[in-house]
């Protein structure tokens, strides 16, 4: 996750992170995944109230999935491959403006606001969320990362349902680790099915979050963006 105007921290290979001056998605090279897969399933959590902050997040003016074009194209290939097995992806978050990450950091510092604890971090003190779960720079702000799950559909490709992964999205707990030992064998197998499908197109999983995938060959690995999602 990333704060706006932070240029001194590092992203990958100890290279300085820079904030792009881009003001629009087009100038940032971000495209809507639905220009490639018009009917991909989406539930963009940070555009509404159903998230760990409990409110729409700064920078999300519309429930859209934006990504750098090569990343969107790779994700579209994952989706098309899955449909051959009557499966689909469901997207929860993609590109994330730097101002949204700053919103998360402010929320994490407000220790009086714990109204989402029961659902999102029941076994953790809010003070420990900064770090592994909420950081001042996010790969999402580079446009190369997506949070998602997998659905199983009927033979007609309709009536899809999410696979049981053992936790919901943004569950801050060791049970959300991709290789968590305290999920059922079926839940673990579903996580591996998702990981296998994503890895075939060059995406890599963040081990602490089974839903979090970054394209390995990011177009701008040391540049973050702050254009709004709209």
Query: Into which CATH architecture does domain 18-224 fall?
Result: 2-Layer Sandwich (3.30)
Per-domain residue ranges of the chain: 18-224
What pLDDT shows up at residue 14? Answer: 57
Q: What is the pLDDT of residues 67-118, one digit of tens each?
A: 999 999 999 999 999 999 999 999 999 999 999 999 999 999 999 999 999 9
* pLDDT greater than 50 at residue 5: no
Kindly report, residue by residue over 35-60, the tens digit of the pLDDT: 999 999 999 999 999 999 999 999 99
pLDDT at 3: 34
CB burial readout 19-42, b (16+ within 10 A) else e: bbeeeebeebbbbbbbebbeebbb
Residues recorded for the chain: 230
Cα 138 off chain centre by: 10
**What is the percentage of the chain residues whose pLDDT exceeds 90?**
90
Q: Does position 11 have pLDDT exceeding 60, yes or no? A: no
Tokens at 156, concatenated: 């007609």
Query: Among 42, 79, 201, 209, which one carries the catalytic annotation?
Result: 209
Question: pTM for the whole thing?
Answer: 0.92
Residue entry with tokens 């700064």: 58
pLDDT over threshold 60, residue 13: no
pLDDT in tens, 127-172: 999 987 898 999 999 999 999 999 999 988 879 999 999 999 999 9
pLDDT for 158 equals 79
Assess whether 73 carries a catalytic annotation. no
Q: Do residues 215 and 78 lie in contact, with contact meaning Cβ atoms separated by under 8 Å?
A: no
């Amino acid at each position: 996750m990333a704060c706006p105007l932070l240029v001194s921290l590092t992203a990958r290979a100890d290279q300085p992170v820079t904030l792009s001056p881009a003001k629009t998605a087009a100038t940032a090279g971000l495209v809507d995944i639905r220009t490639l897969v018009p009917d991909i399933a989406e539930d963009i959590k940070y555009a509404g109230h159903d998230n760990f902050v409990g409110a729409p997040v700064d920078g999300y003016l519309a429930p859209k999935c934006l990504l750098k074009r090569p990343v969107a194209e790779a994700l579209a290939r994952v989706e098309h491959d899955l449909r051959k097995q009557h499966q689909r992806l469901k997207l929860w978050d993609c590109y994330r403006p730097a101002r949204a990450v700053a919103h998360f950091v402010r929320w994490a510092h407000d220790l009086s606001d714990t109204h989402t604890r029961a659902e999102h971090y029941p076994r953790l003190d809010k003070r420990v969320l900064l770090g592994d779960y909420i950081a001042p720079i996010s790969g999402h702000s580079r446009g190369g990362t997506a949070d998602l799950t997998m659905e199983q559909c009927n033979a007609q490709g309709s009536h899809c349902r999410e696979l049981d992964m053992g936790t919901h999205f943004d569950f801050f707990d060791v049970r959300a680790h991709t290789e968590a030992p305290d999920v059922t064998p079926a839940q673990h197998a579903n996580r591996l099915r998702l990981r296998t499908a994503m890895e075939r197109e060059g995406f890599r999983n963040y081990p602490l979050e089974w839903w979090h995938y970054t394209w390995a060959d990011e177009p701008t690995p040391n540049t973050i963006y702050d254009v709004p999602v709209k």
